[in-house]
Amino acid sequence: MTDESHGHMALAFLRLQSWLSPSFPNGAYSYSHGLEWAVEAGHVSDRRSLIDWLEADLCHGSGRNEAIFFSEAYRCVAAGVEDRLPDLAVLAAASRGTAEFVLESAQQSSASLATLRRVWPDRILDIFSDPECPPVLAVLLGARAARERIAIDIALPAFLHSYVANLVSAGVDWCLSVRPTVSSLSRRSSRRSCRAVKSQAKRRSTISVRRA
């Protein structure tokens, strides 16, 4: 490997790290991918249950889908069949199971596309400027990683690590913030009716679903 090719690979990987960084301005930090609801509902309450939730997501849920769409977008570009990206993006967008996930995906993807076009412009991004081609994040980054010639066995694990890291952060934050609230409600239960407690929990769940 020449010094020039080695330098290109190092720069490409640094770019990928920038795109996947928590500080990348796509608003990922403001979404929990449903974890707020899971914590409020009691499905996630500690380290073990959070790990189980994330493992299920990666093996059977949205994480698995994101990995597939990222990989397929990468292969489309690597194989020179970029004309398949719009159909892939439409399929990926249609895989969102709830209105909250649709909003989460659309806002993060649009913000990422805008930043990439300004800072790291590339012709592949023009495909996603078509209104008929939704800028799904996994498809967008998979295609862009292929354009940088970053090996898929490096790009895909990095993408999934970023995906999970954001959920771990959200899960830890919400487990820590909800536990004191639950304990406080328990201590005051003798002074408040059960109906009042349920009413408050319902309001909090509604807010969390809207933010998820």
pLDDT at 61 over 90: no
Q: Give, in order, the Cα–Cα distances in Å from 56 to each of 61, 63, 189.
A: 6, 9, 34
pLDDT at 6 over 80: no
| CA angle in degrees (0–180, nearest 5) for 173-154-12 | 95
Contact of 58 with 64, CB cutoff 8 Å: yes
Residue 189 to residue 21: CA distance in whole angstroms: 43
Write down the pTM of the prediction: 0.76
Contact of 212 with 34, CB cutoff 8 Å: yes
Query: Percentage of residues in the chain with pLDDT exceeding 90?
Result: 39
What would the pLDDT profile of 70-106 be if each residue is shown by its tens digit? 999 999 999 999 999 999 999 999 888 777 778 888 8
Quickly list DSSP for 135-176: --HHHHHHHHHHHTT--HHHHHHHHHHHHHHHHHHHHHHHHH
What would the pLDDT profile of 114-161 be if each residue is shown by its tens digit? 999 999 999 999 999 888 888 899 999 999 999 999 999 999 999 999
Owner of token pair 């301005």: 25
